[in-house]
């Protein structure tokens, strides 16, 4: 991924190997009985805390990572403290913490076997090193909301039980998110929690964009095209509204291109279609996911290759995509550096750009034309060659790219006079979560 990881890698910082227990010095926590997550009497009680700043903690639990940011809602959601933990469950998990001035406060490795251990580690550090920081509420990104959940919601026992029942829809993300929620309940028993679903933004899609060409009984049991990266899309729509309301309400394609990648067609601020479907593995090619595959390929692998369902899931979530085609890396930066001398790396980059361009053309047909194309997320924000190759061939839609602007990652990379405005915009799913949670608490 692009994000701050490369900057952190470049930082001169001692890496100290320690066990997860070394992070955790929180005496008495095990003896505290956590009440139900949302047991509170009034908004006044919600708004109490050791720190008088209205801080919202936004947590994003990935399959092997954990991100958490404290947002100051009195300062438009400005980041106060940001935590990133990578390689959870593997050797040498890495925890990095950055302050509001961008200074690296911590860079350590440890063997953090679970998301539970990772969450306890960062909470212990915050309590020890930043004891004044006290969130007034905590929001979680939940990748899959199923059919029933269409909006952010305060976490209740019933909702938590419902999410447990949805694990079969998203076994690679939901267990981790639920584990972190339980840690939060133990560490901050009086602080309300909320969940924000990555699928919510796409529930406005017309029925034809949601159903699969399968017998109707499958749709009735939840086998539908849900779409993901909804929080990112929602943030981009709001940010674009502040820049140019006409563009935000027009025919818009959001290309969220990172380790996970998807394109979404938006009109009047509403999702009409998106490339991801039942799971985040569908759609276009990604870092380690293949995107859409001929179903016959999966049947063949199950039958002729004798693959188990677990092995097949591992293949389509961790071993395919850029990594699978190149054989060396799922990171676009690595492949761009290698492609001139490595035909497999070149194949991976070419296929990624081809599939993204093909998807953009199809979504433009859904919209009946195109007014604005936005590139966002790690690859979308930072990989100028990828943006150029995706746009090359889309001239018939009215896209005219300015090479100099694109190479300089300018906010607008299309030429003056281009019928389609092409933008590069930074997304912020954590801030979107914080806004949703703040709205739930205050009604603002």
Q: 3-state SS of 366-426?
A: HHCCCCEEEEEHHHHHHCHHHHHHHHCCCHHHCECECHHHHHCCCCECECCCCCEEEEECC
First to last CA, the chain: 34
Strand partners, 67: 60, 84
Looking at residue 97, what is its pLDDT? 93
37: nearest Cα among 206, 202, 161, 204 = 161
Q: How confident is the model at residue 169 (pLDDT cuts 50, 70, 90)?
A: confident
| pLDDT for residue 14 is more than 70 | no
Cβ contact 108:19 at 8 Å: no
Residue 156 in tokens: 């209740």
Q: How confident is the model at residue 418 (pLDDT cuts 50, 70, 90)?
A: very high
| pLDDT for residue 281 is more than 50 | yes
CATH number of this structure's domain 5-17+35-197: 3.30.420.40
Which tens digit of pLDDT belongs to each residue from 247-274? 999 999 999 999 999 999 999 999 999 9
Residue 315 in tokens: 């293949």
Torsion of CA 4, 138, 164, 90, to 10 degrees: 30
Looking at residue 33, the DSSP 8-state letter turns out to be: P
Cβ contact 46:192 at 8 Å: yes
Looking at residue 317, the DSSP 8-state letter turns out to be: I
| pLDDT for residue 189 is more than 90 | yes
Looking at residue 51, what is its pLDDT? 62
Q: How many H-runs (helices) and E-runs (strands) does the chain carry?
A: 19, 14
- In the predicted model, what is the mean pLDDT of residues 377-398? 95
| pLDDT for residue 43 is more than 60 | no
Among 42-46, 60-64, 308-312, which range has the highest average pLDDT? 308-312
Active site residues: 198
- Please report, for the chain, the start and end positions of each structural domain, with discontinuous segments joined by +: 5-17+35-197, 236-429
Interacting residues of 41 by C-beta distance below 8 A, sequence separation 6+: none
Looking at residue 365, what is its pLDDT? 97
Same fold for the pair 5-17+35-197 and 236-429: yes
Interacting residues of 273 by C-beta distance below 8 A, sequence separation 6+: 205, 209, 264, 265, 363, 366
CB atoms within 10 A of CB 311: 13
Looking at residue 156, what is its pLDDT? 93
Rounded to the nearest integer, the mean pLDDT of the chain is: 86
The Cα–Cα gap between 146 and 195 comes to: 13
Q: Where do we find the tokens 């509170």? A: 40
- In the predicted model, what is the mean pLDDT of residues 326-353? 95
Cβ contact 378:370 at 8 Å: no
Say whether domain 236-429 belongs to CATH 3.30.420.40: yes
Reduced to 3 states (helix: H, G, I; strand: E, B; else coil), residue 278 is: coil
| pLDDT for residue 59 is more than 70 | yes
Looking at residue 190, what is its pLDDT? 93
The Cα–Cα gap between 376 and 266 comes to: 15
The Cα–Cα gap between 441 and 438 comes to: 5
Looking at residue 62, what is its pLDDT? 83
Q: How confident is the model at residue 349 (pLDDT cuts 50, 70, 90)?
A: very high
Reduced to 3 states (helix: H, G, I; strand: E, B; else coil), residue 198 is: coil
- In the predicted model, what is the mean pLDDT of residues 115-141? 92
Which tens digit of pLDDT belongs to each residue from 90-107? 778 899 999 988 889 999
Q: Which residue has the higher pLDDT, 49 or 35?
A: 49
For the chain, helix, strand, coil in percent to 5 are 40, 20, 40
Looking at residue 100, what is its pLDDT? 86
| pLDDT for residue 41 is more than 80 | no
Cβ contact 433:58 at 8 Å: yes
Looking at residue 47, what is its pLDDT? 42
| pLDDT for residue 403 is more than 50 | yes
CA angle 134, 140, 146 (to 5 degrees): 160
- In the predicted model, what is the mean pLDDT of residues 219-239? 94
Looking at residue 50, what is its pLDDT? 58
Torsion of CA 318, 324, 327, 331, to 10 degrees: -70
Element at 269 (helix H, strand E): none
């Amino acid at each position: 991924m692009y994000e701050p990881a490369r900057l952190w890698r470049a930082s001169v910082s001692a890496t100290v190997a320690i066990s997860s227990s070394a992070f955790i010095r929180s005496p008495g926590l095990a003896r505290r009985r956590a009440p139900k997550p949302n047991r509170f009497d009034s908004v006044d009680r919600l708004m109490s805390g050791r720190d008088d700043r209205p801080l919202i903690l936004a947590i994003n639990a990935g399959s092997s990572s954990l991100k958490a940011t404290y947002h100051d809602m009195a300062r438009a959601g400005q980041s106060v403290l940001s935590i990133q933990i990578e390689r959870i469950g593997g050797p040498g998990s890495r925890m990095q913490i950055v302050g509001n001035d961008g200074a690296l406060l911590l860079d350590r490795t440890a063997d953090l076997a679970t998301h539970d251990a990772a969450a306890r580690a960062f909470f212990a550090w915050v309590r020890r090193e930043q004891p004044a920081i006290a969130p007034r509420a905590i929001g979680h990104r939940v990748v899959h909301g199923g059919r029933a959940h269409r909006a952010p919601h305060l976490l209740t026992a019933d909702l938590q039980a419902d999410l447990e029942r949805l694990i079969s829809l998203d076994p690679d993300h939901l267990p981790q998110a639920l584990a972190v929620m339980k840690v939060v309940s133990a560490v901050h028993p009086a602080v309300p929690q909320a969940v924000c679903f990555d699928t919510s933004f796409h529930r406005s899609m017309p029925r034809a964009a949601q159903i699969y060409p399968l017998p109707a009984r499958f749709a009735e049991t939840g086998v539908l095209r849900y779409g993901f990266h909804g929080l990112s899309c929602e943030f981009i729509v709001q940010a674009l509204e502040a820049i140019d309301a006409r563009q935000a309400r027009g025919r818009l394609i959001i290309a969220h291109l990172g380790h996970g990648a998807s394109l979404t067609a938006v009109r009047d601020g509403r999702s009409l279609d998106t490339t991801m479907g039942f799971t985040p593995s569908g759609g276009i090619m990604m870092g380690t996911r293949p995107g859409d595959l001929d179903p016959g390929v999966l049947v063949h692998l199950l039958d002729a290759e004798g693959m188990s369902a677990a092995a097949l899931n591992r293949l389509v979530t961790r071993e395919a995509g850029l990594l699978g085609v190149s054989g060396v890396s799922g990171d676009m930066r690595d492949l761009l550096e290698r492609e001139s001398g490595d035909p497999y790396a070149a194949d991976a980059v070419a296929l990624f750009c081809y599939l993204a361009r093909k998807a953009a053309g199809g979504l433009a047909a859904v919209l009946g034309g195109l007014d604005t194309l936005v590139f966002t997320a790690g690859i979308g924000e930072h990989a100028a060659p990828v943006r150029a190759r995706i746009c090359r061939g889309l001239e018939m839609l009215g896209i005219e790219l300015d090479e100099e602007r694109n190479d300089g990652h300018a906010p607008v990379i299309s030429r003056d006079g281009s019928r389609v405005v092409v933008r590069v915009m930074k997304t912020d799913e954590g801030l979107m979560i914080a806004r949703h949670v703040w709205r739930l608490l205050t009604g603002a």
